[in-house]
Amino acid sequence: MRRVLKLAVLAGAAVTALAFAGNALAVQKLSVSQSATSLTIKVTQAQTDQQPAKITIYVPTGYSINSSAAPGTTIGTTSGSVFARDANIPLPLSGNVVVAPPDTNAPGCATGTHLAVWNLALSVAGQNINLPVHVDPTSGAEAALGAYKLVVCLSPADVPQGTPGRSPNGAQLLEANFTVNNVFQVPAALSVWKAITTPYAPSTGVPNAAGTVETRALASSGTVTLSARVTNKKKRTVRISGKLSQGGAAVAGSQVRLLLNGAASRFTARTSAAGNYSLVLRKTGKKSTTTFQARTTVAERDVTSTLCATPSLPPIPCVSGTASGFTAVSNRVRIRL
């Protein structure tokens, strides 16, 4: 415990010096999930990966950002975990997202007056760590990547101890996520978020432009359809079928559960490669009207092969793509049988 507390004190000594480390960036992932009132962004990477020097997350065109909150206002929550190289232990982080003054800068990385600055006010073992997210509209060539950009500037973790600007205790990011409420106006259309990440060159503390990569995240609700057709009146059988999709693309291998008269039943089906599912049921008992509906919950999944097919800035490679999880409920169909 004494070692953990010592680490926390060291980490709290610098405001922007927290190093979210790791990543040769081959396994780095960007994830985005959203509702009508909140939006969550998550970055994950491996302990063995090279430390990012700068992460720029592009907000897709169609979103708008409410930047009217005054400095000091809490607009969300944040959490994550880091691995302390020097102490050889992982540490969980949690806290709030608090609006900071718009002129909060990261020298050499994000300067000037910004549209907004959101401070990830993290806490570890009772100590505080602040990590600013700089928010600005895009312009020029960057406008093709999105309407806004969120910039996070990080410190090197693998340079020798005592090096100026080194991450306290060599802390590396394993996962960082933050949720903001009533900040983003979410469009109804399909949204693909993009992040451009430049790592440090190993053991130098110097950004390695040649190692820059792109990651993507699909943020979209999904849909499940349902149709019902009596296949044999005498035997009182009905065929239920439909399709599960997200952003117009089929979702394969997911379980769809049938609702009968609004209640979950034991009847399920798994979607095919084309996103289709079907069930054949036989009605027993007295003749009556039954309401059929389908419901499914889909977890976040990897869609790198399709989402990264065409990188935004060749020759910068797109190394990972995720699709957000969602819950979908179909239309209702009533049949008397």
pTM assigned to the model: 0.85
Buried b (16+ CB within 10 A) or exposed e, 254-268: bebebbeeeeeeebe
Residue 172, strand partner residues: 83
Is 239:280 a contact under the CB 8 Å cutoff? yes
Pairing assessment for the beta strands 318-323 and 213-219 based on DSSP bridges: parallel
Least confident of 14-28, 118-132, 154-168, 247-261: 14-28
- pLDDT value at 303 more than 70: yes
Least confident of 125-129, 223-227, 301-305: 125-129
Q: Give the pLDDT of residue 126.
A: 65
Q: Give percent above pLDDT 70 in the chain.
A: 91
Pairing assessment for the beta strands 255-260 and 263-270 based on DSSP bridges: antiparallel
Mean pLDDT: which of 9-13, 81-85, 253-257 is highest? 253-257
**How does pLDDT run across 3-58, given as a tens digit for each residue?**
332 323 333 333 233 333 333 334 799 999 998 899 999 999 988 888 899 999 99
Mean pLDDT of the chain: 89
Cα separation, 80 vs 126, in Å, equals 15
**How does pLDDT run across 158-217, given as a tens digit for each residue?**
999 999 988 877 888 889 999 999 999 988 777 999 999 999 999 999 999 999 999 999
Burial of 300 (0-12, 13-18, 19+ CB in 10 A): middle
Assigned CATH topology for domain 222-297+327-336: Immunoglobulin-like (2.60.40)
Q: Write out the E strands in 64-146.
A: 64-65, 74-84, 89-100, 116-124, 127-137
Cα separation, 10 vs 188, in Å, equals 45
pLDDT band at residue 125 under the 50/70/90 scheme: low
Q: Give the pLDDT of residue 130.
A: 85
**12 vs 125, residue with greater confidence:** 125
**226 vs 186, residue with greater confidence:** 226
Count each helix (H run) and each strand (E run) in the chain, helices first.
2, 25
**79 vs 25, residue with greater confidence:** 79
Residue range 280-288: mean pLDDT, rounded: 92
Q: Give the pLDDT of residue 38.
A: 95
Residue range 288-294: mean pLDDT, rounded: 96
SS3 of 221, please?
coil
Cα separation, 64 vs 187, in Å, equals 9
Following DSSP, what letter does each residue of 164-175 receive, concatenated?
TTPPGGGEEEEE
| Domain locations along the chain | 2-219, 222-297+327-336
The CA-CA-CA angle for residues 39, 120, 188, to 5°, reads 15
pLDDT band at residue 127 under the 50/70/90 scheme: low
Is 106:135 a contact under the CB 8 Å cutoff? no
Q: Give the pLDDT of residue 19.
A: 35
Q: Give the pLDDT of residue 219.
A: 94
Q: Give the pLDDT of residue 8.
A: 30
pLDDT band at residue 275 under the 50/70/90 scheme: very high
Residue range 82-95: mean pLDDT, rounded: 87
Q: Give the pLDDT of residue 201.
A: 95
Cα separation, 326 vs 298, in Å, equals 5
